[in-house]
Structure 1
């Protein structure tokens, strides 16, 4: 069974992404990255991206990850904070620590594509 199925599929991913955005937009360090952005569009891309990364049927068709993130000058501490918020959102929805660890491991290779500062 995929991680996607284990956590509850599309419904769980949508709930996690919604909670994730509540957290990152409330974080004073991360909020400026999201100010003035089309949050519904960002959420849709994030849902598809996370679902695809954890074995769901969705296909991520967003823009090139480095092209989107490089102009933002994201640091390692920004990346870590985002991952921490995602893990907290998942745990808040009852996803077991082992599974959140697997999700984090699936997303960790993106650090080199996202961090540019």
Structure 2
């Protein structure tokens, strides 16, 4: 069984994405990155991306992660908060710790494409 199937196929992933974005945009430390964003479109893109990377049938056709996030000055702290909201979402949906770890590893592999704020000197 693929991770896509264990997450509940399209319906399960869409549910997770919806809950995830509700948490993220309600977070006062993250909401600024989403002002003026077409959230329905972002949710569709995120669902398609997650379906594909978890072994589902959808082929993601959005921008590359670095291109989509490059001008947003996303900090490492913000990235970590977003991942935390995703972990909380998946936990509340009853996803196993092992599967959450796989999703986290997939996100972590793309951290450098998303985090664009330079590391502090020191």
Q: TM-score, normalised by structure 2?
A: 0.92
Displacement after TM superposition at 1:64 (Å): 2.1
The structure richer in helix per residue is: 1
Gaps of 5+ in 1: none
Cα distance in structure 2, aligned partners of 1:81 and 1:110: 15
- Work out whether residues 18 and 43 of structure 1, in 8 Å CA contact, stay in contact via their aligned partners in 2: yes
Q: Counterpart of 1:27?
A: 27
Larger RCO: 1 or 2 (CA < 8 Å, sep 6+): 1
Secondary structure of the corresponding residue to residue 71 of structure 2: helix
> Which structure is larger by alpha-carbon Rg, 1 or 2?
2
Cα distance in structure 2, aligned partners of 1:75 and 1:65: 15
Gaps of 5+ in 2: 118-122
How many residue pairs were aligned?
117
Q: Map 1:4-19; keep pairs closer than 5 Å.
A: 4-19=4-19
Q: Counterpart of 1:112?
A: 112
Moved over 2 A (4+): none
RMSD across aligned positions (CA)? 0.9
1:60-82 per-position Cα deviation (integer Å, ceiling 9, x unaligned):
11012111111100111111111
